[in-house]
DNA sequence: AAGGATTCCAACCGCATGTCA
DNA sequence: GTGACATGCGGTTGGAATCCT
């Protein structure tokens, strides 16, 4: 069973370009196979990226240029980072989304190794889900306030707690991501200026469920490394090509303007301006009264939504 | 154990914009 | 200036995996 089976060889797409249409004869769709991945990787290794339609032809792939591009950018690229979104990344997504809205690609530029697709999926599956549970719009003031005064602080607390006790580190990014230079170091002067933390109009959202952030990332525990039983024929959701198969080092970030998780300046800057979290909420007490905020990987979403009762 | 519900995410679609002849 | 084609982006879909009853 595959998406290809479902969508078949439909050639009714009105969005395809003319050159796509010309190729529509026996185009493949749906999940990529190992063979296709190899072809694409090998071709790009030799000839580089770009000119995706001709690339698809020359590489012997019966795919549209679009499809090749997407597969490369979202999955095969050497610096694509697999695995769970870290706390720091969640915080970053949250903050950047508050600034830019659904500008996923722009947000992704500041999260090395993460694709716009991944961030978009994250937002939709976690944040919007919670907004829905709260019966409010993700862009509503109510929801933003909840983000800003409840979940952001909790996230920061957890990041700091993790930093204080490395044995229970929650920051895979700190170990996986090791850019060499020129990260955007956020100074304390950013704090309270709206520069990064606590933007004037608040924070839109985050996954405070953080159910997947407590493990250190390894290829083995990558979320995409599971369920490899269908690997022989289909790879898309399961292969860990960037490590096991192709032995390509992960996460070679070159973006000079990105945030490095675990960077002290960043975390410090994430600490709220004085008093901003002190709106009569005792988070410690809340944590206790709600059966805490586990650091062991359990999904805390429900607990957090219990906090909602207190909040409202 | 079974099957229904939910979650996650790869891949697709449609549109906008960029590039080039 | 214009049209053809390429690229990029955000939204959506649907199926595998996982969870729940």
* CATH assignment at residue A43: 1.10.10.60
Q: In Å, how far are A55, A112, A195, A228, A257 from A89, measured between CA atoms?
A: 33, 10, 17, 27, 15
Asked if A121 CB < 7 A from strand C, the reply is yes
Asked if A128 CB < 7 A from strand B, the reply is no
**Average pLDDT taken over every residue of chain A:** 58
| pLDDT single digits (tens) A143-155 | 777 777 877 788 8
| A8 and A135 part of one domain | no
Which residue would you say has higher pLDDT here, A272 or A94? A94
| pLDDT single digits (tens) A207-224 | 333 333 333 333 333 333
Q: Which of A30-34, A37-41, A293-297 has the lowest mean pLDDT?
A: A293-297
- Per the structure, the count of domains in chain A is 2
Asked if A121 CB < 7 A from strand B, the reply is yes
- What pLDDT does A167 receive? 53
A80: Cα within 13 Å, side-chain hemisphere: 22
- What pLDDT does A110 receive? 86
| A137 and A204 part of one domain | yes
Query: Distance (Å, rounded) from C-alpha A229 to C-alpha A192?
Result: 50
A184 has a pLDDT exceeding 70: no
| pLDDT single digits (tens) A186-205 | 333 333 333 433 333 333 33
Asked if A141 CB < 7 A from strand C, the reply is no
Q: Which of A7-16, A132-141, A159-168 has the lowest mean pLDDT?
A: A7-16
Which residue would you say has higher pLDDT here, A212 or A73? A73
| A194 and A272 part of one domain | yes
In a domain, A218, yes or no: yes
| A62 and A134 part of one domain | no
End-of-domain residue from the set A26, A53, A76: A76
Domain that holds residue A157: 87-226+254-311
| A67 and A93 part of one domain | no
A52 has a pLDDT exceeding 50: yes
Query: Distance (Å, rounded) from C-alpha A111 to C-alpha A19?
Result: 33
Which residue would you say has higher pLDDT here, A59 or A139? A59
> A78 is written with which tokens?
């050497």
- What pLDDT does A247 receive? 39
In a domain, A246, yes or no: no
- What pLDDT does A127 receive? 81
| A198 and A282 part of one domain | yes
End-of-domain residue from the set A76, A108, A135: A76
In a domain, A248, yes or no: no
- What pLDDT does A150 receive? 79
| A93 and A60 part of one domain | no
Which band of pLDDT confidence, cut at 50, 70 and 90, is reported for residue A293?
A: very low
In a domain, A72, yes or no: yes
| A40 and A141 part of one domain | no
Q: Which of A23-32, A77-86, A212-221 has the lowest mean pLDDT?
A: A212-221
A116 has a pLDDT exceeding 50: yes
Give the distance, in angstroms, between residue A69 CA and nucleotide C3 C1'.
24
> A302 is written with which tokens?
């429900």
| A71 and A197 part of one domain | no
Query: Distance (Å, rounded) from C-alpha A72 to C-alpha A56?
Result: 11
| A168 and A99 part of one domain | yes
| A293 and A218 part of one domain | yes
Asked if A58 CB < 7 A from strand C, the reply is no
H or E, element range at A88: helix A87-100
| A38 and A113 part of one domain | no
Nucleotide of closest approach to A66 (CA, C1'): C7
Nearest Cα residue to A218 out of A251, A195, A261: A251
In a domain, A240, yes or no: no
């Amino acid at each position: 069973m595959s998406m290809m089976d479902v969508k078949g060889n439909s050639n009714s797409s009105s969005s395809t370009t003319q050159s796509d249409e010309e190729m529509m004869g026996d185009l493949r769709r749906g999940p990529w196979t190992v063979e296709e991945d190899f072809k694409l990787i090998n071709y790009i290794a030799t000839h580089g990226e770009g000119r995706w339609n001709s690339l698809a032809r020359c590489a012997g792939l019966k795919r549209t240029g679009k499809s090749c591009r997407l597969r490369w950018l979202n999955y095969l690229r050497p610096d694509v980072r697999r695995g769970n979104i870290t706390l720091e990344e969640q915080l970053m997504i949250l903050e950047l989304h508050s600034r830019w809205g659904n500008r996923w690609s722009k947000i992704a530029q500041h999260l090395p190794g993460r694709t716009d697709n991944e961030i978009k999926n994250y937002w939709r599956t976690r944040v919007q889900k919670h907004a829905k549970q709260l019966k409010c719009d993700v862009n509503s003031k109510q929801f933003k306030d909840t983000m800003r005064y409840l979940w952001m602080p909790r996230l920061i607390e957890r990041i700091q707690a993790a930093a204080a006790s490395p044995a229970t580190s929650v920051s895979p990014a700190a170990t996986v991501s090791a850019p060499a230079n020129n990260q955007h170091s956020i100074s304390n002067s950013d704090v309270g200026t709206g520069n990064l933390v606590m933007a004037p109009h608040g924070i839109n959202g985050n996954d405070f469920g953080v159910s997947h952030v407590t493990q250190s990332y390894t290829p083995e525990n990558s979320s995409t490394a599971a369920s490899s039983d269908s690997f022989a024929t289909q790879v898309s959701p399961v292969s860990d090509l960037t490590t096991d198969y192709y032995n390509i080092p992960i996460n070679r970030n070159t973006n000079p303007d990105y945030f490095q998780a675990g960077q002290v300046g960043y975390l410090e800057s994430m600490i709220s301006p004085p008093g901003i979290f002190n709106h009569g909420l005792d988070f410690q007490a809340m944590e206790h009264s709600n059966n805490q905020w586990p650091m062991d990987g359990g999904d805390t979403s429900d607990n957090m939504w219990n906090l909602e009762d207190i909040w409202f």
